[in-house]
Amino acid sequence: MQLERRCEKCGQMIPWGERECPACGESVRFFWSAPRNELLLLSVLLLVVVFVITSFAVTAFRAKEQALGRQWYTAGERELTAGHGKAALEDFRSALVYSPDDSRVELELARALAAAGHRSEAQVYLISLQENDPGNGMVNLELARLAADSGSVTEAVHYYQNSIYGQWDGNAGGHRRQARVELAEFLLSVGRKPEAQAELMALTADLPSDPALALQAGRLLLKTGEYENSSLLFRQALRLHPNDAQALQGLGEASFESGNYREARRYLTNAKRQGPLSTQLQSLLDSANLILEIDPLAPRLSAQERVRRSLWAFTQSMNRLRGCAEARSSSAENGQQSPELQDANERASALEPKVRQRNLARDPDLLLQVTDVAFEIEKVTERVCGEPQGSDLALLLLSRAQGRSE
């Protein structure tokens, strides 16, 4: 430590502790002898320096915390996307330590909890978030999914609706469409077809020009029985993506279910050229081919072919009627026969003597009557003995298509 100081006036060294310079007699000021204002100013400067240093330290610490929180959050998102719910859960818990007031982290933690099977804990987080932000679309969607998984239909529908009409950060239209699709799928799963149909019609009213979306909506509408509207969507997908196998399959199925078997055969055959059909669709194609081969009311048939098909249909339906009656007699108490089967048998038996090739060729009204009886037998036997197979199923489907056309 330096014990001497230099005199500001003459430059000579002044021993420590002396108040005057030995050479010139100039008085020397010590720190503790400085005026009060100067001491106060120096103290303030020192405090400012300390405050600035502390502020920098706190800012740096918080920045580090935020960086760590972002790192854990990113890792959690990656794990959740990969389907690793438990790993994501730990990452988001760590992220929440560094970002305790970040609602995004709480939401992702809730999603990870649900994915890991901790549904009750996930619901606690989500309800808390929903209370703070009732219109949050994503929070309501997650609550809807939890309610749907637990079978709470009314609650699930409520949260899905909140999600559809809620607020979203970015791509609001896409998120709302996805929420509506999920709602429609859920309603179909619980047997509420008319409500699902209404949601899907609302979905298609504002559908962008996207073949994937058109296919998705078309498949769902097909499940609700909206064959005409589903066909429109499949055709839209085909216009955007010609020869798309899924669109052709959808059109084939919709045509088949609506009774247009010729179109069904055409679309399913074209779809098969793009790749193998599923077992269900191959069965539809086989049925469409069979129906078109046996239809006695098909247009542009020769008179001889129409008579041949009507005779065959009557014979086939009579065999079905007798087989169904025998099965019912053996299983019913006291051999009691079904009134419906008795009525159908009486009508067919009265007509049977007239069912001859020459009679049908001369009398178009008789030919139509024979065809109607064959179709009616197939309907009655289905109600009494269950759905048939093969040729009887083809006749039954023809009878339904005739009923729709009438």
Res 69 pLDDT > 60:
no
pLDDT band at 25 (very low <50, low <70, confident <90, very high): low
Task: Give the mean pLDDT of 127-133.
Answer: 90
How is the chain split into domains, by residue range?
Answer: 306-401
pLDDT at 33: 47
pLDDT at 31: 45
Structure-block tokens of residue 389: 């197979």
Mind giving me the DSSP string for 357-403?
A: HHHHHH-HHHHHHHHHHHHHHHHHHHHHH----HHHHHHHHHHHHHH
Res 2 pLDDT > 60:
no
Q: Which of 301, 281, 302 is nearest to 292 (CA)?
A: 301
Residue with tokens 């529908």: 157
Task: Give the mean pLDDT of 137-144.
Answer: 93
pLDDT one-digit tens code per residue, 221-247: 999 999 999 999 999 999 999 889 999
pLDDT at 64: 54
pTM exceeds 0.75 for this model? no
Task: Give the mean pLDDT of 307-327.
Answer: 94
Task: Give the list of residues 6+ apart from residue 145 with CB closer than 8 angstroms, or none.
Answer: 114, 156, 182
pLDDT at 85: 64
